Amino acid sequence: MLNKKFIIVANGEFKNESINHSDFDLICACDGGYKYLEKLNIVPDIAIGDFDSLGYVPKCKEVIKLDVNKDETDLFHAISVGINKGYENFEIYGATGKREAHTLANFQILYYLRRLNLKGVLINGLNRYFCLSNETVKLNYKKGYISIFSFTPKSIVTLENLKYNLNAHKITNYFPLGIDNEYINKEATIKVISGAVLVIVEPIE
């Protein structure tokens, strides 16, 4: 299901006025994320969680009720459901803000997906959060910030057409060298030669 998305809406901060989806995508409400979908008049295909945040078990085509006492987060369970259904692309809303511990856990989920050769992106308004490993991406934003943090003890990266460029440079998971780079109205290139990094994109309109 390479071109189909497993879209998850969680209970974190939600700044989006709409969610782009097609009939081929599957939409999953993760606990309190159900209320965001209600406001957008979107009926999810699946609702999953212990529903402690929502306060009730919603009516849905498929409902997966989780125990409150568990080792994994509701979002991780939702990711597992998508993987078991054969999805390779995950688009996740409401996964940042509010509780910082959950935000950090969700960054780890991005790394977890990439280690499985799957792709995930956290979306909050214009901001995007994703993991890169041994690959190259091009980003076309006129203004804004981009930050890169190494998940692995060290990563070798090349950055082009940004305010601060790097050429096969080592970044580590203990020194924040990659914070607050800036776009310069050019198509930027990020190449991760080795290791794995978290990329945070914060465009300015």
Q: Selecting from 3.40.50.10240, 3.40.50.300, 3.30.1360.170, 3.40.50.1360, what CATH number does the domain 5-125 have?
A: 3.40.50.10240
Backbone angles phi, psi at 79, to 5 degrees: -60, -45
Residue ranges per domain, the chain? 5-125, 131-203
pLDDT of residue 71: 82
Looking at the chain, which runs of residues are DSSP E strands?
A: 5-9, 26-30, 46-49, 62-65, 89-93, 119-124, 127-140, 144-150, 154-160, 166-172, 181-182, 187-203
**CATH code given to domain 131-203:** 2.60.120.320
d(CA 84, CA 202): 32
d(CA 126, CA 205): 9
Mean local confidence (pLDDT), 171-200: 97
pLDDT of residue 70: 82
* pLDDT tens, position by position, 84-143: 999 999 999 999 988 899 999 999 999 999 999 999 999 999 999 999 999 999 999 999
**Least trusted range by pLDDT, from 21-25, 170-174, 181-185:** 21-25
pLDDT at 1 over 60: no
Burial degree of 5 (CB within 10 A; 0-12, 13-18, 19+): buried
Look at residue 109 and give its three-state secondary structure. Answer: helix
Mean per-residue pLDDT over the chain, rounded: 94
pTM of the complete model: 0.94
pLDDT at 17 over 90: no
- Asked if residue 52 lies in contact with residue 68, where contact means CB atoms within 8 angstroms, the answer is yes
